[in-house]
Structure 1
Amino acid sequence: MASSGLLQTADRALQVLLAFSDLRPEWGVSELARELGLDKSVTQRLLATLANRGFVFADPETRRYRLGPAVSQLSRVAERSGALSLIARPVLAKLARETGESAVLNIAHGGSYRTVAAVDARGPLSYSAIVGHVMPGHAGCSGHVLFAGQPFEEVRELFGPEPLTRYTANTPTTYAELEQRWQQVRETGISVSVGEFDANVGAVAVPLALSGATVASMTLIGPAERVINRIDDLTAPLRTAGAELSRRLAPGSAGPRPS
């Protein structure tokens, strides 16, 4: 057992699982060993152990590993348990108090995104978010930060052919327009939208990253005119809240840093 109190072998196995991402969905033993700084034989035994429980599987022809069905099973259980909402709500509540705007957490849902936790701002002019509500992935900054890092062809398959559905005059309906939104996310770590799904709503969102992969979007949302005039004031607390939630979800991982 490591001096920190962590079980080293279990920690290494989890590092192996977390190495799989949208950008690296498969690994060979040697390259994964180099990536993690582990001995090749140790990496092979870790993969074999995980494969025995269905967490990874090896292509019989290439001998390269991918995540297995046991990961999907745990993912479904975790989502249904409401753990993400339970952990996120205190962070969202603090963010809503600090900014005076509604704070929302969304996750990808096919070619859409779904609200899993929300805390509404107080006051007569505020946006009320509905937990469980599903929104189109191409309309709104929450979707832009969720899909910006995914392979283009996979997103195109999820969203469908152009033109995409137009909800307002500001809805991006082509992939050229979406690429501009996604590039902003990749360059700045934030996305801003004004009236892309609801003409009266403005929002700013940041990606919530774990082990280098975007798992959710954290968004401040409110009346369009008010939000667009406060982007600079909203961005710093939003980034801080995103980093805090990342730390709460995975204390041993490095989450996004506030800037």
Structure 2
Amino acid sequence: MSTGPTERAGPLQPVDRALDVLLSFDEYRTSWGVLELADEFGLTRSAAQRLLASLAGRGFPRADPDTRRYGMGPAMWRMAGLWERSGGLSALAEPLLADLARTSLFCVPDGAHVRCIAAVSGSEGPRRSHPFLAELYPAHAGATSRACFAFLDPAERGALLSGRPSARFFDLTPFDEREVETLFDTTVGQGYALSQGEYDAASRAPAVPVFGGKRPVGPVTLVENKHSDHDDDLLDHLTPPRSAGGELTGPLSNRRPAPPTRRWRRGHGSRPSPHPTTD
């Protein structure tokens, strides 16, 4: 019989608690006070202080000397940048696109465009002489970009797009600023975008947003040949990209199972409703 230490099932409690604290930062919770953290996680004040100080010593949160609150620190930025530069997001998306068994794309914002960082080809996709990967799609044309820019804060979107010239690629390309804004509003209302021949005359596409918290990370798009004899509706093809988008949103959002409901002083504690639904 072995006399060695018994191996514990499950995560190590101190490590798991520290990770819970790091994952609790999001758009709604940008900082913690020691008492808030102690109450939220069921810790004593001294234990919460030691935990925050230990994490801050490695640069994950950063203490504000004036407010004595702990906000996100430079180590979070460094690790997030390293993950992005090493292709972590495309590696996360590619298996989900492959499961769709159709020509599908995942794109990320790039200025006034979205840029394709993952693409999988299928038999129903349009024939083209150049790859989808690294292609830029302008904000005003097509479901791919619309499923991202529609869900930005209107003020942020206006700062990016207002007054910019919009190229008209084909007769179906929307280029009037008011028309484009109406399409953005429609997309937010229904939770997805559809297009036929706006950016590529030979293609039609449904696209759904992927979120990281409440912010759009990019769209998942299903791309098909646009034929005059199509007897189906684009809505019939919405389920696969919606499913892939939901699977991507989960790990990118890192939502805690039981989000805080208290309204702390200074308005830091309550979490509003999550990102716009894609249902």
Q: TM-score w.r.t. structure 1 length?
A: 0.73
Q: Do 2:220 and 2:245's aligned partners in 1 also have CA atoms closer than 8 Å?
A: yes
Q: Which moved more, 1:246-255 or 1:204-213?
A: 246-255
> Quick one: higher RCO (CA 8 Å, sep 6+), 1 or 2?
2
CA distance in 1, matches of 2:182, 2:204: 18
Q: Which moved more, 1:24-33 or 1:188-197?
A: 24-33
CA distance in 1, matches of 2:120, 2:141: 21
Matches within 5 A, 1:1-259: 5-21=10-26, 23-24=27-28, 26-29=30-33, 33=37, 37-39=40-42, 41=45, 46-63=51-68, 65-95=70-100, 97=101, 100=102, 102-122=103-123, 125-126=126-127, 129-157=131-159, 159-168=160-169, 169=171, 170-174=173-177, 176-225=178-227, 229-246=232-249
CA distance in 1, matches of 2:61, 2:244: 33
Which one has a bigger Cα radius of gyration?
2
CA distance in 1, matches of 2:142, 2:35: 38
Q: Do 2:108 and 2:218's aligned partners in 1 also have CA atoms closer than 8 Å?
A: yes
Q: Do 2:190 and 2:278's aligned partners in 1 also have CA atoms closer than 8 Å?
A: no
Unaligned runs of 5+ in 1: none
CA distance in 1, matches of 2:106, 2:152: 19
CA distance in 2, matches of 1:67, 1:149: 24
**Identity of paired residues, percent?**
31
The 3 A distance-change label for structure 1 pair 161 and 8 is: same
SS at match of 2:238: helix
Letter matched to residue 233 of structure 1: D
SS at match of 1:180: helix
After the TM superposition, which segments of 4 or more aligned residues of structure 1 sit over 6 Å from their partners? 248-258
Q: TM-score w.r.t. structure 2 length?
A: 0.68
Q: Give 1 or 2: higher helix fraction.
A: 1
